Amino acid sequence: MRNPDSILGPVITEKSVTAQQNGVYTFKVDKKATKSQIKSEIERQFGVKVLNVNTLNTKSKRRRMGRYEGKSKTYKKAMVTLAQGSSIEM
């Protein structure tokens, strides 16, 4: 089953911005999305050639707000390697 909203948005961190110079872009994706679905969705949305997709499920971290304590949300992250000469405008 294909989910058209499998790409939720880019992950903008210091590490991901430096990786963009090497053609590796990081996206927050749906937890049920597979690597092949992510690859086809990126190619369709941005019109680029994807070479490789690596995924990972993030872990929640403990967060405090004053005396209240909770956990951050977990999400699935995809690092997409593009072909030489391809780029995505963020």
Tell me: the pLDDT tens digits for 24-79? 999 999 999 999 999 999 999 999 999 999 999 999 999 999 999 999 999 999 99
Evaluate whether residue 30 is within a structural domain.
Answer: yes
Supply the range of the domain harboring residue 21.
7-59+72-82
- The two three-digit tokens of residue 68, written as one number: 């209240």
Evaluate whether residue 67 is within a structural domain.
Answer: no
- Residue 48 sits at the vertex; the CA angle it makes with 87 and 3, to the nearest 5 degrees, is 120
9: left (phi over 0), alpha (psi -120 to 50) or beta: left
pLDDT at 78: 97
pLDDT at 3: 57
pLDDT at 83: 93
Question: Domains in the chain: how many in total?
Answer: 1
CATH number of residue 28's parent domain: 3.30.70.330
Evaluate whether residue 43 is within a structural domain.
Answer: yes
In this prediction the pTM is 0.85
